[in-house]
């Protein structure tokens, strides 16, 4: 690709009927568009057939974050005004403090207490920032409650969030969450709660398919990145390189880093499942020798063409929104023109797009 990428390069026209508003009946029966970067060829397959493109020495990297029922609502104590909160991230501070998006936020101020609907849970506003962002401290409410440790408080609040919160479905689905979304907007390998959006490339895997992959000798390596809403913020600057991602918490344990290093040393490919896994791996890899180092923290890794991938040999991903950082990451891997060709063929072939949609394998 010659010249700097422009925001308009990330546009494409998508028929409204191409947006998948519900998942397919069986996870691994979604469609799979295989993009061969070397040969420039496209193949139309079913997701369960992905095993035909994997090798025993490879490492498949999955993000085991679990989506919180992060959309909650309530009323302000004193005025009765309705407030909706979308939780973003829990702060590593005493108490149960979260950053959140509030709607409406204009009449919120420090000290406002919101009684959440559906359970004995209150949220006190600590700070109000721009663009509807707030910091809130959660606590249980009701008779007989005593002061509790931070961990006990977190356990109380997390149980209540499970009962009062809703699945934070993306707005482009244009529908309210339904009971099925509790399980389907979640990977089968989700383990650690903290995300407010699903790592959607992983939604296509079943337990059976993962067992089949492991039986082939392929390493299934678990890492963590708690997906925040900033990942899906549209790029607004005419120069995409000026875009900034909101930091998200990640963790790669020593056993995972060791397995990745061993697989690479033995000639295997590192195949992240989803852009969240890519950004985590590219955060922890040593750019000098390509080794993976165990670590945890917050990453605002932003992948924009041209990008020298150190940790990614192939990629499993979904079809992404125009003008998004996710689309930009995929363009950096495939090249812009090949990506446009793939998307055009997917649209013509009536692939299903976005979170509940079909998948791509880029090799």
CATH number of 71-165: 2.40.10.240
**CATH class of this structure's domain 7-67+180-362:** alpha beta
CA distance 18 to 25: 17
Nearest partner of 122 among 77, 91, 79, 84, judged by Cα? 77
pLDDT digits (tens, 9 = 90+) for 214-267: 999 999 999 999 998 877 788 888 889 899 898 999 999 999 999 999 999 999
Compute the radius of gyration of the chain from its Cα atoms. 21
Q: List beta partners, residue 33.
A: 44, 360
Residue with tokens 């309530």: 74
The residue ranges of every structural domain in the chain are 7-67+180-362, 71-165
pLDDT category at 341 given cuts 50, 70, 90 is: very high
Cis, bond preceding 72 (omega within 30 deg of 0): no
Query: How distant, in Å, are the alpha carbons of 99, 194, 235, 302 from that of 325?
Result: 22, 21, 7, 8
* Whether pLDDT at 143 is above 60: no
Domain 7-67+180-362 matches domain 71-165 at the CATH topology level:
no
Q: What is the pTM of this model?
A: 0.90
For 273, the token pair is: 């499942």
User: Residue 245 phi/psi, 5° resolution?
Assistant: -95, 145
As a whole-number percent, the residues of the chain with pLDDT over 90 amount to 76
Rounded to whole angstroms, the Cα distance separating 240 from 56 reads 38
Average pLDDT, the chain: 91
Give the neighbor-by-neighbor strand order of the sheet with 59-63. Answer: 270-272, 59-63, 219-225, 248-252, 295-299
Distance of CA 141 to the CA centre of its chain: 32
89 in Cβ contact with 249 (< 8 Å): yes
| pLDDT tens per residue, range 9-35 | 999 999 989 999 999 999 999 999 999
């Amino acid at each position: 690709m010659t010249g700097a990428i422009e925001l308009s390069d990330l546009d494409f026209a998508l028929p409204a009927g191409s947006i998948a508003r519900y998942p397919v009946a069986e996870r691994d029966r979604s469609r799979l568009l295989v993009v061969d970067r070397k040969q420039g060829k496209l193949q139309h397959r079913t997701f369960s057939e992905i095993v035909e493109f994997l090798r025993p020495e490879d490492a498949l990297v999955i993000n085991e974050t679990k989506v919180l029922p992060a959309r909650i609502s309530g009323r302000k104590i004193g005025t009765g005004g309705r407030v909706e909160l979308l939780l973003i991230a829990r702060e590593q501070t005493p108490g149960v403090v979260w950053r959140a998006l509030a709607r409406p936020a204009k009449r919120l101020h420090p000290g406002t207490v919101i009684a959440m609907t559906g359970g004995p849970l209150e949220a006190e506003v600590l700070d109000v920032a721009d663009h509807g962002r707030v910091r809130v401290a959660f606590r249980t409410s009701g008779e007989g409650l005593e002061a509790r440790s931070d961990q006990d408080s977190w356990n109380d609040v997390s149980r209540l969030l499970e009962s009062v919160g809703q699945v934070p479905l993306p707005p482009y689905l244009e529908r309210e969450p339904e009971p099925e979304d509790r399980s389907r907007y979640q990977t089968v390998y989700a383990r650690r709660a903290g995300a407010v959006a699903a790592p959607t490339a992983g939604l296509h895997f079943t337990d059976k398919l993962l067992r089949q992959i492991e039986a082939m000798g392929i390493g299934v390596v678990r890492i963590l990145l708690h997906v925040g809403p900033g990942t899906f913020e549209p790029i607004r600057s005419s120069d995409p390189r000026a875009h900034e991602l909101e930091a998200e918490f990640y963790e790669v344990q020593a056993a995972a880093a060791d397995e990745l290093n061993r697989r690479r040393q033995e000639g295997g490919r590192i195949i992240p499942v989803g852009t969240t896994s890519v950004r985590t791996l590219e955060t922890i890899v040593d750019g000098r020798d390509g080794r993976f180092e165990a670590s945890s923290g917050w990453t605002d890794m932003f992948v924009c063409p041209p990008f020298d991938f150190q940790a990614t040999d192939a990629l499993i991903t979904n079809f992404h929104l125009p003008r998004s950082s996710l689309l930009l990451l995929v363009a950096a891997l495939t090249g812009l023109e090949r990506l446009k060709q793939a998307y055009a063929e997917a649209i013509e072939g009536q692939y299903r797009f976005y979170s509940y949609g079909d998948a791509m394998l880029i090799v």
